[in-house]
Chain A
Amino acid sequence: MTAQPDTVRPATLRWGWMAAGLGLLIGAVLLGVVVGPAKMGAGQVLRELFGSLIFDSPSDLTATEQAILWELRLPRVVLGGLVGAMLAVAGGAYQGVFRNPLADPYLLGVAAGAGLGATIVIVSAGDGSTALLPLAAFVGGTVAVAAAYVIGRSIGGRSATTIILAGVAVAAFFTAMQTYLQQRNLDTVRQVYSWILGRLTTTGWREVLILLPYVIVSAAVLLFHRRLLDALSVGDAEADALGVPTGRVRAIVVIFATLGTAAAVAVSGLIAFVGLIVPHTVRLLVGSSYRSLLPLSMVFGATFLILADLAARTVASPAELPIGVITAFVGAPFFGLILRTSRRVIS
């Protein structure tokens, strides 16, 4: 194993990249707030935003335009940022804890479990009342990962590979049940699909308030473990020798990455690729030290998803596109380009 310069050098947070990332994020937020299917002047929007926040001087926006801005557009931008940050940091943490570049937040069956939970609610609520959907998706996602973890440990002890394989098996099983339910109830198939493809159409600030505590707690825990993830990246045996409790670190990271991911999936559906391409892109830009990787993944993940949602809202305006389609369609080729142009190797 030839250690890369970046992992050897005592890496601290790369502040230059962080500043650039935050600048991009602010730009994406402003763009996301100003641009949308409803045409409102950029100046008016900004004056409405900052005027009422700072100067208390009202803008010329009509009541409807104010409602569009404050109750539809802004919560959607904030939600996109939270979901993107959460999926990206969880993906980065998973890749570290399993030392597997293909790991993403859905690796251990969160997506399949949440999909089953959501489908059960959509199918069984004959009148379509889907108030329970976020809860069911959250429970389904966490149950699936817990099952994968327990099964994996019972077979292979602490080996990361058996946990991943158990995750694959659990995901296949949950997906089978989800598909069965979906096909038996094809009258609700559009609702199921529209959830699976992911969407950030909010019901105001409710989703943001549901998601926020999970993102804060799980991101804090993951960021707190970023040095241990660096130690873990040299291998279980070596990490043990350094005195790192590998089993416990892995369990903690999986638990909190799962909680955050399940909460994100519960409010936004299954948005593909963010947890895979954002951490890898960051890794290729700044190196593979988790000290930089995790915080930068959050910032870039938020930026990426806000811009992807902007595209989902405006490309076919006034129609909407599913955001999961945008993230995969734009994200995959972009990722390929990054891989191609970079000389560095994924650790």
Chain B
Amino acid sequence: MIARRDKTRGLLIALEGADGAGKTTQRKLLKTWLESRGQTVVSTRWASSPLVKPLIATRKRIRVFSPLEYSLLHAIDFRHRIETEVLPALWAGQTVLADRYLFAALARDAARGLELDWLLHAYAPLLWPDLVVYFAMPAQVSSRRVAATRQPRFYESGQDVTGIDDPLTSYRRFIDRVIREYDNLSTIFQFVTVNAEEAVYHQHQKVRELVEAATRRPWPDYSAEAVAEWLRNDPVAYKAGLHG
């Protein structure tokens, strides 16, 4: 059933990169372009599950998270969105654009000192994206862009782990670690890299080309466990799969 659905399901495209890399801009441009081509597109953003977002926001406000708790709450958010937003949309043939996916968590949590091996386990079973576009840029550029628009928030600037009082100074140090982790992940998981320092238009052209050339990463080979578990827990989708 999973193999049959794999032929008609939607594409899962992950947009990754540090803050200020322009992921949201590119996601919006890509959505408009795909919709103009007749596709139904669903966007999913980091820490946006309607169930988990308030839990995270409340605890962030009072700054009670340890790196482990921070990581687990984001894993819950991710799992909840996979089960309630991403998989139903893909199953129905819609394209899903993830504005930060699994790798944002891996990079940030690893930068906070958690083991990559444990992190991959906490996020398992994994639903692999068909395409990961990584908007790469140096840490200084990220810091400059963020500083130009706002003061980074406590956890965004990694103040929980750097112990530095000034958010921007902390951000500079933390984002350097995050980008190093992203670069490692990019090598391990073979992201497609786009230079985030190029003009928005040029980046968008590149993204279009990548999406046009993207092929499905076969579910039976890469994501069978995640899809099968979702189907087991969701009899409506299961029945639709039997008849669809």
A and B associate in one complex: no
